[in-house]
A and B are shown apart, each in its own frame.
Chain A
Amino acid sequence: MNSTIVRLSTQALLGRRRGLVLALIPAVVIALAVVIRVLTEPGTGYEIVDAIGFTLALPLVALLASSAVLGPEIDDGSIVYLIAKPVPRRSVVLSKYVVAWLATLTLGALPLLVAGLVLDSSEPTQALAWALGGAVAGTTYTALFLALAALTRHAVVIGLLFVLLWEGLLGGLLSGIRWLAIGAWGQEIAASVSDAVKAPGTGLLYAVLAATVLTVGSVWFAGDRLRSFTLRGDE
């Protein structure tokens, strides 16, 4: 872990426009919760925590965060200035991951807790369950998207296809997808904390294991890609 890289990545992440959109997404989710709560009685509309917060907002935040810490610099090659240094490349990747991870936790998972509590303060366990599931899913999403950002320039679109088509569209049609969907694993963990959450059916152990393996594997892979980082010349 390298504190300079952490500092630089944080500055890149919270740079004006990007920071704004990053903060806007959870703000929308929480605002929605507040509006619903104000206009109806507690407990109504709890589905939005899942349908909007967990399924949509969380992966979007993870995607935005991970592509912000790694994408632009690799794209135009200026990451050279950060890695032409006697700092192990894995350490560079790890530092960037931590920054994106913290952003995802605070702006992706935490708002789930807040929204849940706003909608129904009498059921804190359920809100906590979603936040916990979101934390685990967010950790894995961030790692996966970071690895994609280290791999290709089209990381954002591929990440979107994964979340929206694979997990979303196909996941809704084919139940077998749950074994290979990060959202399902997060939901499994949430279900283990609160009965109000429906478990996708992969079992807690599998979900935790799969999330861990994918997270560690992705960060390791990103580090490996960075070790072999190649400057494209004029040719």
Chain B
Amino acid sequence: MPEVPRTGVIHDLGYRPYDGPRNGSGAIAWALFLSGFRNAFGLGRSGKSKVLPFLLLGLNLLPAVIVVGAMTLFGLDELPIDYSRYASSTQILLSIFVAAQAPVLFSRDLRHGTISLYLARPLSSAAYAVARWAALLAATLVFLLVPIIALYVGAVLSELDFWEQTEGAAKAILLAVLLALGLTGIGGLIASVSVRRGFAVVATIAVLLLGNGVVTAVQGIAEVQGEPRIGEVAGLFSPYSLYRGGMAALTDNVALTPPTGAAMTAAYFGVMVLVAAVGFVGILVRYRRIAGR
């Protein structure tokens, strides 16, 4: 029997690739940002993952609500707690929030390997990293800004001096943004380097709270010893002490060994920006390395 020539044929089943308009990588990054932001609060995930963020958010908001309530009930003519001081008082809640939710945004994809799915799309590793970073930043900002806004609204509606309140709130918002940038950088970097979630959480808490505790101790001792300069320098080494220093510089609030002199004050703000930048760049580098593998 003659050899039948082998042939192959591709059947036309009517499949047509999509060649309509496609959104650019900007839209992809935006979608990633949005989903990350929602995930940070457990929205779009199981019910259990909503418990922690909303619990922390609620606890964080509680004092603000109480204050506003007290103001309306007792007709106070001044906010019992200043806008900027609020974040300083609730730093434990904020630290837990960042430490617990940064791994949700960064470690999860790395741990389970789904990062390769993301990077297989027309999405550069830098865009992915920025989208995740922005999502964590936005979540942290929500955490920080909602109480400030609540206090502001309460104060304005209680007919406290409008411009004074606006000025106070604006300064607090500026400081909050700087703080959020720093915390996002730190939390995101740790979470993207250490893929085991529990480890990332403890490491972030250690850096944030332990670091803050150490700096505060040094500042306290420096103040007592009459060497405030040492305290000022020590204050450069923790996001929270940087925040307090900036707060003391901008507002009338009192802090331990606040920065004195224009140079030191500039240094405080400079380091805040630096920490944010280093964290951000670190995350970019980390993801570039991952993508390169």
Contact = CB atoms under 8 A, between A and B. Distances in A.
Given A52-B213, A71-B198, A160-B96, A60 B218 contact: no
Contact of B99 (A25, A39, A160): A160
B46 to A, nearest CB: 12
B179 to A, nearest CB: 18
Interface residues of B, number: 30
B132 interface: no
Interface string A17-47: 1100100110010001001100110001101
Given A39-B230, A60-B206, A156 B198 contact: yes
B209 interface: yes
A13 to B, nearest CB: 12
Nearest to A47: B217
DSSP class of A's interface residues: helix, strand, loop or mixed?
A: helix
Interface string B84-117: 0000000011011001100000000000000000
A157 B214 contact: no
A56 B209 CA distance: 8
Nearest to A168: B92
A57 B217 contact: no
Interface string B199-227: 10111011001100110011011001101
Interface string B226-250: 0100100000000000000000000
A18 B225 CA distance: 37
B196 interface: yes
Interface residues of A, number: 36
Contacts of B196: 71-72
Contact of A63 (B96, B202, B214, B217): B202
B124 interface: no
A67 B202 contact: yes
A144 interface: no
Contacts of B202: 21, 60, 63-64, 67, 156, 160
Given A44-B224, A160-B99, A56 B210 contact: yes
Interface string A47-64: 110011000110010011
Contact of A25 (B59, B206, B221): B206
A163 B261 CA distance: 39
Interface of A: 17-18, 21, 24-25, 28, 32, 35-36, 39-40, 44-45, 47-48, 51-52, 56-57, 60, 63-64, 67-68, 71-72, 154-157, 160-161, 164-165, 168-169
Given A36-B217, A156-B197, 4 more contacts: A64-B202, A160-B100, A160-B202, A165-B93
The 3 closest A-B pairs by CB, nearest first: A156-B198, A45-B221, A52-B213
